[in-house]
């Protein structure tokens, strides 16, 4: 696809595509600032439903103003094609970052950032529904932000999707209740974040299988993996994020953030006692 002509921007290069949109790197004419343009592949006249979902994604990101959420600068049309102007992350995604080892403290710091972002997202009545390393982006300073709200939904809408047997998310990060046909909730986002936290701590996914069916069964019934002794301080966080029964998880992102703070405090006290 040729780079679209978007007034006020130049030097576009294709970064990727998916979810019905092309993602371009652009330079804003006004200040030569690098930004991302997410351009829908269809026009409103061609597919009004996709356009409405695109508008909804914009609304969700704009509502959740938090350093842990990708920033949206504006929106418009390139010819008849809708676009969003968003923050550019030169270091890519957490998936890329996971190719290098994380220290436990780094993993805990990232968990704190993302838990705070979920407090904000859920506080606006929004469930992300596809939280995974590919959708967590890394800034130049190493801070991270949740992106891609293409399948996010408001609390009141998720029950309708479940009733229609629509399941959103990625197999390795899918909460057990979604596999059972129950609605998504803030607790499903917490489960998905727990999978990513395990990856940061260990460099591997907690569950793997030969096919999606076997993977789903592991989400439903396999024991929560036990961390090696050197990482035992972080096991309570994993247990509270990856519980099979949603009622046994942290009951909100705020509760998770409190749990993270308790681990930070325990580690700080231990260091102080060693001096």
Report the CATH number that the domain containing residue 48 is assigned in CATH.
Answer: 3.30.200.20
Backbone dihedral angles phi then psi of residue 65, each to the nearest 5 degrees: -80, 105
pLDDT digits (tens, 9 = 90+) for 70-92: 999 999 999 899 999 999 999 99
* Residue 164 pLDDT level (bands cut at 50, 70, 90): low
What's this model's pTM, rounded to 2 decimal places?
0.92
**Whole-number Å distance between alpha carbons of 95 and 122:** 23
Is the separation of the CB atoms in 77 and 60 below 8 Å? Answer: no
Q: What is the pLDDT of residue 200?
A: 97
Q: Is 113's pLDDT higher than 70?
A: yes
Mean pLDDT, residues 237-243 taken together: 98
Shared-domain flag, residues 186 and 250: yes
The mean pLDDT of the chain is 92
3 within domain boundaries:
no
183 within domain boundaries:
yes
Q: What is the pLDDT of residue 165?
A: 64
Q: What is the pLDDT of residue 3?
A: 63
Spell out the residues 6+ positions from residue 265 whose beta carbon is closer than 8 angstroms to its own: none
270 within domain boundaries:
yes
Domain that holds residue 119: 94-274
Is the separation of the CB atoms in 38 and 21 below 8 Å? Answer: yes
Backbone dihedral angles phi then psi of residue 155, each to the nearest 5 degrees: -50, -40
Q: What is the pLDDT of residue 167?
A: 76
Q: Is 16's pLDDT higher than 80?
A: yes
Q: Is 1's pLDDT higher than 60?
A: no
Q: Is 275's pLDDT higher than 90?
A: no
Shared-domain flag, residues 54 and 105: no
247 or 10: which leads in pLDDT: 247
Q: What is the pLDDT of residue 11?
A: 75
Shared-domain flag, residues 27 and 56: yes
If one counts every other C-beta atom within 10 angstroms of the C-beta of residue 157, the result is 16
Among candidate residues 31, 46, 49, 130, the one labeled active-site is 130
Mean pLDDT, residues 204-223 taken together: 94
Q: What is the pLDDT of residue 132?
A: 97
Mean pLDDT, residues 147-157 taken together: 89
* Residue 67 pLDDT level (bands cut at 50, 70, 90): very high
Which one-letter DSSP state was computed for residue 74? E
Task: Report the percent of the chain where pLDDT is more than 70.
Answer: 97
116 within domain boundaries:
yes
130 is annotated as an active-site residue: yes
Q: Which of 70, 87, 104 is where one domain is finished?
A: 87
Is the separation of the CB atoms in 130 and 148 below 8 Å? Answer: yes
Shared-domain flag, residues 40 and 113: no
Is the separation of the CB atoms in 178 and 184 below 8 Å? Answer: yes
Closest to 162 measured CA to CA, from 173, 178, 149, 150: 178
* Residue 146 pLDDT level (bands cut at 50, 70, 90): very high
Shared-domain flag, residues 262 and 200: yes
């Amino acid at each position: 696809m040729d780079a679209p002509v978007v007034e006020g921007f130049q030097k576009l290069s294709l970064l990727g595509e998916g979810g019905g949109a092309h993602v371009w790197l652009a330079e804003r004419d006004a200040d030569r600032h690098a930004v991302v343009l997410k351009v829908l592949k269809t026009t409103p006249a061609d597919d009004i439903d996709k356009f409405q979902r695109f508008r909804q994604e914009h609304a969700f990101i704009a509502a959740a103003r938090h350093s842990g959420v990708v920033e949206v600068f504006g929106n418009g049309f390139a010819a008849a094609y809708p676009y969003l102007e968003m923050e550019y992350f030169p270091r890519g995604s957490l998936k890329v970052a996971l190719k290098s080892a994380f220290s436990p403290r780094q993993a805990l710091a990232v968990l704190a950032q993302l838990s705070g972002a979920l407090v904000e997202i859920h506080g606006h009545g929004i469930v992300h529904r596809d939280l995974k390393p590919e959708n967590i982006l890394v800034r130049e300073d190493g801070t991270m932000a949740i992106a891609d709200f293409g399948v996010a939904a408001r609390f009141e809408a998720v029950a309708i999707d479940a009733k229609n047997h629509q399941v959103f998310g990625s197999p390795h990060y899918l909460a057990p209740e979604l596999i059972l046909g129950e609605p998504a909730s803030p607790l499903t986002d917490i489960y998905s974040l727990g999978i990513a936290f395990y990856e940061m701590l260990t460099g591997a996914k907690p569950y793997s299988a030969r096919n999606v069916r076997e993977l789903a069964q592991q989400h439903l019934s396999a024991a929560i993996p036990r961390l090696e002794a050197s990482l035992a301080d972080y096991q309570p966080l994993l247990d509270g994020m990856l519980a099979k029964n949603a009622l046994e998880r942290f009951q909100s992102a705020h509760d998770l953030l409190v749990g993270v703070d308790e681990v930070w405090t325990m580690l700080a006290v231990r260091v102080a006692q060693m001096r």
